[in-house]
């Protein structure tokens, strides 16, 4: 006999920002909700290869405690390897994803969602009107399933959803480098993050130095089908004089690769299954920013279920989801994906974009056709 306690309205695979927000919104609206993650979330949180820079608007929107912020920032310094530098002013924060994700997960639990951590997804099957989800610890049933399990989503792979094209995948490499507050302040500035561009350095993408409290996150990302030797190309970035000096007395704590989608998955919904966040490729194609889009897409997925059921239009939930995404931000992300190829067509175009970015938001540059 199946355990009736393992039956839910909504089942979410992945407890990152998107999965946790979806779980919270679902529980707040009276849906029995379970979300699982293969890592240990609730004690120390789990490490995620991520620069961790977020806009201050997001900090205020979720009332994220300032004591959990690793560093408040006031500017982006944009370096082109030809020697040109640009500066973009604006308040933001650099966070550890382990702490940030745990904060959102705790919010979902407090709302009544059931978290199953250190539980690995194994299989999904359609059973009559519901889905049967099998993990290494049990078997569950749910009417709705939300894939919040990243770019390589095992859920969507088993369901045979189409994958991203190679042109829509960025391979990133992250090194967490331990330094000191004094060294960071001297080499990078106490309120600044640094981005590095140039087609000789990275064909389509960029690299970064994001200071946290006593750690500098050194990262690099390039379109996966343009990479010949990722370690050698990453080393080229690490050997830039500015980078070398900033990291001179630091020690490596973590070295990790990670995939980021920069174009939408060909399918975002089918038969009560939603793809949110990285699983759907709902990421800014130019900056690689994914946290706020994961959170918004998780919320929109639940709102689409609510609206579809309320209007007795269950067969229209997918349409409602994609229409809502489009209205909120998808139209802009699609335009950015087209513009990205033009930006990285030449160093001249790239420098023009960086100079515009000093004054405008990237979405303004694209939608107002300033480039």
Residue 304: Cβ-neighbour burial (10 angstroms; 0-12, 13-18, 19+): buried
Cite the DSSP H helix spans in the chain: 17-28, 56-61, 97-110, 154-158, 181-187, 230-238, 241-246, 291-310, 317-325, 331-343, 347-357, 362-367
CB atoms within 10 A of CB 282: 26
Structure tokens at 30: 């009276």
Q: How many CB atoms lie within 10 A of CB 186?
A: 12
pLDDT digits (tens, 9 = 90+) for 77-133: 999 999 999 999 999 999 999 999 999 999 999 999 999 999 999 999 998 889 999
Answer yes or no: is pLDDT of 357 > 90.
yes
| pLDDT confidence of residue 46 | 79
pLDDT digits (tens, 9 = 90+) for 297-341: 999 999 999 999 998 888 899 999 999 999 999 999 999 999 999
* Domains of the chain (ranges, CATH numbers): 4-46+99-164+265-338 (3.50.50.60), 56-95+166-261 (3.30.9.10)
Q: Judge whether 152 and 265 are in contact, CB under 8 Å.
A: no
Structure tokens at 74: 């006031």
pLDDT tens by residue, 199-210: 999 999 999 999
Cα atoms in the Cβ-side hemisphere of radius 13 Å centred on 339: 23
* Residue linked to tokens 């610890």: 137
Cα 273–281–156 angle (5° rounding)?
Answer: 35
Mean pLDDT of 177-183: 94
Judge whether residue 3 has pLDDT over 90. Answer: no
pLDDT in tens, 52-81: 999 999 999 999 999 999 999 999 999 999
Task: Give residue 224's pLDDT band: very low, low, confident or very high (50, 70, 90).
Answer: very high
As a whole number, the mean pLDDT across the chain is: 95
**pLDDT band at residue 162 under the 50/70/90 scheme:** very high
Task: Note the pLDDT of residue 1.
Answer: 47
Mean pLDDT of 217-230: 96
Helix (H) or strand (E) holding 225: none
Q: Per residue in 252-286, pLDDT tens?
A: 999 999 999 999 999 999 999 999 999 999 999 99
C-alpha distances (whole Å) from 354 to each of 195, 198, 237 are 11, 11, 19
pLDDT attached to residue 47? 83
């Amino acid at each position: 006999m199946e355990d009736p306690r393992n039956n839910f309205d909504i089942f979410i695979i992945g407890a990152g920002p998107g999965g946790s927000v979806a779980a919270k919104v679902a529980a707040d609206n009276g849906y029995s909700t379970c979300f699982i993650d293969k890592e240990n979330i609730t004690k120390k949180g789990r490490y995620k290869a991520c620069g961790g820079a977020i806009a201050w608007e997001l900090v205020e929107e979720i009332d994220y405690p300032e004591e959990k912020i690793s560093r408040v920032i006031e500017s982006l310094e944009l370096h082109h390897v030809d020697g040109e530098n640009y500066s973009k002013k604006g308040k933001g924060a650099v966070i550890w994803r382990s702490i940030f994700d745990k904060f959102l997960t705790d919010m979902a639990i407090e709302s009544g969602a059931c978290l199953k951590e250190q539980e690995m997804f194994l299989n999904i099957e359609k059973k009559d009107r519901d889905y049967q989800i099998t993990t290494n610890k049990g078997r569950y049933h749910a009417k709705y399933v939300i894939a919040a399990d990243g770019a390589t989503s095992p859920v969507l792979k088993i369901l045979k959803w189409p994958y991203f094209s190679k042109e829509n995948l960025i391979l990133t490499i992250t090194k967490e480098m331990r330094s000191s507050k004094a060294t960071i302040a001297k080499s990078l500035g106490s309120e600044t993050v640094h981005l590095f561009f140039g087609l000789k350095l990275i064909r389509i993408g960029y690299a970064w130095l994001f200071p946290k409290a006593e750690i500098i996150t050194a990262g690099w990302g390039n379109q996966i089908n343009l990479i010949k030797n990722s370690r050698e190309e990453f080393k080229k970035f690490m050997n830039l004089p500015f980078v070398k000096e900033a990291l001179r007395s630091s020690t490596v704590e973590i070295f990790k690769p990670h995939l980021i989608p920069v174009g939408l998955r060909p399918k975002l919904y089918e038969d009560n299954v939603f793809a949110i966040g990285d699983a759907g490729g709902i990421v800014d194609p130019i900056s690689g920013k994914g946290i706020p889009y994961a959170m918004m897409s998780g919320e929109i997925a639940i709102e689409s279920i609510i609206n579809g059921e309320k209007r007795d239009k269950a067969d229209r939930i997918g349409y409602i989801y994609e229409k809502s995404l489009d209205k909120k931000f998808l139209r802009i992300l699609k335009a950015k994906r087209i513009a990205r190829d033009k930006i990285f067509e030449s160093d001249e175009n790239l420098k023009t974009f960086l100079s515009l970015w000093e004054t405008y938001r990237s979405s303004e540059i694209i939608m107002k056709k300033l480039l």
